[in-house]
């Protein structure tokens, strides 16, 4: 068995859980946020820097690595861990979300998805079997089943057909998955914003018996309250002895609200992407560093943070670096934003342990502000 989830504690007032996930590359504490290293690198960061800020697991994208440099090269390098010199756990998505996002460039059939490469326009094909094959070659600790992520909004008929295909594809992924000793395969629950369809998908996917389950098809443009509502009725359907992963979610409010509803794992490009665009998440709320008011601000980005950026540099200097498009600016903001989310999850875990998660949540939002 490639992974094992250990439930340590359940919150008395909410659905939150404290756990530990044992993987071939180490043990991680949940709930956890996974920084995204799309193309075999968490943008602007070294593996050592990721560890220094407390990253325990990262996510990488199968679609991008399939396109370039190709899973053959990464396999020859000894797998993704060795290729990028990251020796802790890695989770890969299935590539499904990216190929569906290609819009007119892709054609979906029962067999799989045919699409044109966004790089050179050449014809490519991903099926459930192919997604498992690629992820097997990458050698990641957790791979995801190839699913269809329905857009928002989508009518019920479409979502129903889509989730049923996702179930058939999940079955095919499971059948194709051989390396079960070293790599775990997670199933993905779809069903859009429809309660009965979520129930149907949850039942079908859980019946296939995966070592972990994701809630897919959320954070696709729907209002946050609707996402929370879907989680409210979906997570109680999920087994307590398996990890639960909410895909593509990474704003501080959504992390906390997700944990309250029983989610254990999250990933999102948000903290790294907005860092490169000059926005910091701080204990006082968002800081848009290019703003003129920071020109002469010699205070740290976040007075409550002890990351490398906040220990050493002023807002005035970071603003200067950002305005001049200097790489160090992107580096410092990336370090800070990731540390902010990783620290947030650490505090969330401590709050669960000490039965004060709701207090922590309310206190956090009072300072950070609640985003709609």
Catalytic (active-site) positions: 93, 267
- Considering only 125, 317, 360, 365, the residue that binds a second copy (CB under 8 A) is 317
* Contact mark string toward a second copy, 21..60, x via CB under 8 A: ------------------xxx-xxxx--------------
Q: Least separation, in Å, of the C-beta of 39 and a second copy?
A: 5
What is the Cα–Cα distance from 240 to 319, expressed in whole angstroms? 46
Under the binding rule (CB under 8 A), the answer on residue 80 touching a second copy is: no
Q: Least separation, in Å, of the C-beta of 207 and a second copy?
A: 40
Q: Least separation, in Å, of the C-beta of 308 and a second copy?
A: 8
Contacts of 53 (CB under 8 A, 6+ apart): 307, 335, 338, 339, 342
DSSP conformation class of 210: -
What is the three-class DSSP state of 71? helix
CB under 8 A: which stretch of 75-83, 90-98, 241-249, 339-347 binds a second copy?
75-83
Under the binding rule (CB under 8 A), the answer on residue 75 touching a second copy is: no
- Considering only 24, 69, 151, 239, the residue that binds a second copy (CB under 8 A) is 69
Q: Least separation, in Å, of the C-beta of 178 and a second copy?
A: 26
Q: Which is nearer to a second copy, 68 or 178 (CB)?
A: 68
Q: Least separation, in Å, of the C-beta of 148 and a second copy?
A: 27
CB under 8 A: which stretch of 108-116, 127-135, 221-229, 315-323 binds a second copy?
315-323
Site for a second copy in 135-194 (CB under 8 A): none
Q: Which is nearer to a second copy, 48 or 372 (CB)?
A: 48
Under the binding rule (CB under 8 A), the answer on residue 293 touching a second copy is: no
In the chain, DSSP assigns E strands to 4-10, 17-23, 26-30, 32-34, 58-60, 90-92, 106-108, 113-116, 123-126, 142-144, 184-189, 213-215, 244-246, 265-267, 279-282, 285-288
- Considering only 8, 27, 73, 353, the residue that binds a second copy (CB under 8 A) is 73
What is the Cα–Cα distance from 223 to 237, expressed in whole angstroms? 22
| Number of residues located near a second copy, criterion CB under 8 A | 33
CB under 8 A: which stretch of 25-33, 207-215, 254-262, 309-317 binds a second copy?
309-317
Q: Among candidates 291, 340, 283, which has minimal Cα distance to 320? A: 291
Q: Among candidates 260, 258, 232, 225, which has minimal Cα distance to 372? A: 225
Site for a second copy in 92-121 (CB under 8 A): none
* DSSP track, 19-70: EEEEETTEEEEESEEE-B-TTSS-TT--HHHHHHTT---EEE-HHHHHHTT-
Q: Least separation, in Å, of the C-beta of 73 and a second copy?
A: 6
- Alpha helices for 177-247 (secondary structure H): 195-207, 224-234
Residue 343 to residues 96, 160, 251, 339, 356, Cα–Cα distance (Å): 30, 39, 13, 6, 17
Residue 117 CB coordination number (10 Å): 14
Q: Give the footprint of a second copy on this chain (CB under 8 A).
A: 39-41, 43-46, 68-69, 73, 76-77, 83-85, 295-296, 298, 308, 312-314, 316-317, 320-321, 323-324, 326-328, 330-331
């Amino acid at each position: 068995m490639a992974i094992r989830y250990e439930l340590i504690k359940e919150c008395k007032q909410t659905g939150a859980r404290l756990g530990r996930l044992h993987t071939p590359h180490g043990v991680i504490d949940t709930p956890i946020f996974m920084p995204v290293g799309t193309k075999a690198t968490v943008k602007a960061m070294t593996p050592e820097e990721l560890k220094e800020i407390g990253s325990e697991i990262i996510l990488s994208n199968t679609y991008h690595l399939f396109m370039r440099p190709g899973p053959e090269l990464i396999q020859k390098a000894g797998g993704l861990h060795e290729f990028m010199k990251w020796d802790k756990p890695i989770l890969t998505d299935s590539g499904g979300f990216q190929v569906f996002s290609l819009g007119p460039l892709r054609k979906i059939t029962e067999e799989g998805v045919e699409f044109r490469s966004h790089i050179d326009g050449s014809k490519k094909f991903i099926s459930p079997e192919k997604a498992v094959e690629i992820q097997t070659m990458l050698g990641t600790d957790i791979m995801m089943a190839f699913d269809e992520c329905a857009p928002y909004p989508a009518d019920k008929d479409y979502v129903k057909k889509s989730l049923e295909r996702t179930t058939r594809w999940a079955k095919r992924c499971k059948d194709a998955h051989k390396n079960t000793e070293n790599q775990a395969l997670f199933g993905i629950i779809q069903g859009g914003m429809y309660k009965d369809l979520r129930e149907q998908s949850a039942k079908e996917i859980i019946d296939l018996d995966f070592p972990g389950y994701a809630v897919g098809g959320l954070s696709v443009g729907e209002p946050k309250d609707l996402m929370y509502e879907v989680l409210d009725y979906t997570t109680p359907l999920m087994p307590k002895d398996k990890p639960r992963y909410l895909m593509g979610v990474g704003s501080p409010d959504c992390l906390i609200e997700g944990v309250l509803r029983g989610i254990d794992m999250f990933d999102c490009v948000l903290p790294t992407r907005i860092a490169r665009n000059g926005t910091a998440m701080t204990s006082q709320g968002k800081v848009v560093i290019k703003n003129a008011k920071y020109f002469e601000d010699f205070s740290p980005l976040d007075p409550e943070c002890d990351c490398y950026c906040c220990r050493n540099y002023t807002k005035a200097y970071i603003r200067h670096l950002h305005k001049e498009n200097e790489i160090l600016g992107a580096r410092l903001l990336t370090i800070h934003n990731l540390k902010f989310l990783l620290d947030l999850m650490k505090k969330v875990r401590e709050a669960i342990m000490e039965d004060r998660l709701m207090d922590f949540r309310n206190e956090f939002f009072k300072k950070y502000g609640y985003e709609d």
